[in-house]
């Protein structure tokens, strides 16, 4: 976050606020969660809390890396801020598509390059996520003065599609919210199962 005496445009401040809210939610998610609950899966083909975080960590790194080259060229060419860092209509649609809650009919498989590691440790997955999340924040901090709505980069997952940097900076927090929502549901299911098992043991004793 920039120093308090710097005037920040409202659109940039809104992005900072999104990133801060996501980090707070992620920290609440793992608070009091042990490794056993962090690696619990509802089904063999579903993700644990740790895997959700690991997926986000990898996705953030890949996306930010894809944006870096375009940002560097834009700075070299002097393409500085001309207006708000807001997506166009396609970018808005894609960002909204990423937002939770996720309907079953709109579920898609994650691209192979950002699928989570199999059964990562919760502590490591969370640390990797926080590092990648801060990398995203640092990208915004370094490039907030660029023409984010006018500079485009190749989408790393959809061949031939280019997004504005503004779209990328809105998509990533939405994607984080999507999978934190998923991880919260996994945690709640895991805790319900533990309570149910404890009650079953208690009734037999």
Architecture of domain 10-204: Up-down Bundle (1.20)
Structure tokens at 188: 């709640």
pLDDT tens-digit readout, 72-128: 999 999 999 999 999 999 999 999 999 999 876 566 778 888 999 999 999 999 999
pLDDT tens-digit readout, 176-191: 999 999 999 999 999 9
- Residues facing residue 153 across a β-bridge: 163
- For the four alpha carbons of 65, 111, 168 and 163, in that order, the dihedral sign comes to positive
* CA 158/CA 176 separation, integer angstroms: 19
- Domain residue ranges of the chain, discontinuous segments joined by +: 10-204
What pLDDT, on a 0 to 100 scale, did the predictor assign at position 44? 87
Note the pTM of the prediction, 2 decimals: 0.91
* CA 45/CA 88 separation, integer angstroms: 36
């Amino acid at each position: 976050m920039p120093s308090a005496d710097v005037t920040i445009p409202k659109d940039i401040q809104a992005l900072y606020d999104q990133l801060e809210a996501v980090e707070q939610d992620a920290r609440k998610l793992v608070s009091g969660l042990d490794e056993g609950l962090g690696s619990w899966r509802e089904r063999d083909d579903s993700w644990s809390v740790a895997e959700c975080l690991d997926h986000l960590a990898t996705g953030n790194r890949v996306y930010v890396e894809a944006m870096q080259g375009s940002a560097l060229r834009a700075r070299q060419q002097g393409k500085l801020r001309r207006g708000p860092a807001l997506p166009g209509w396609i970018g808005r649609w894609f960002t909204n598509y990423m937002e939770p809650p996720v309907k079953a009919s709109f579920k898609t498989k994650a691209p192979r390059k950002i699928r989570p590691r199999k059964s990562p440790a919760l502590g490591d997955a969370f640390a990797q996520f926080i590092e990648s999340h801060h990398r995203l924040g640092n990208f915004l901090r370094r490039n907030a003065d660029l023409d984010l709505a006018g500079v485009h980069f190749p989408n790393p997952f959809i061949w031939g599609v280019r997004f504005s940097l503004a779209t990328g900076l809105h998509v990533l927090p939405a994607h984080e919210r999507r999978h934190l929502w998923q991880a919260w549901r996994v945690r709640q299911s895991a805790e319900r199962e533990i309570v149910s098992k404890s009650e079953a043991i208690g009734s037999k004793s």
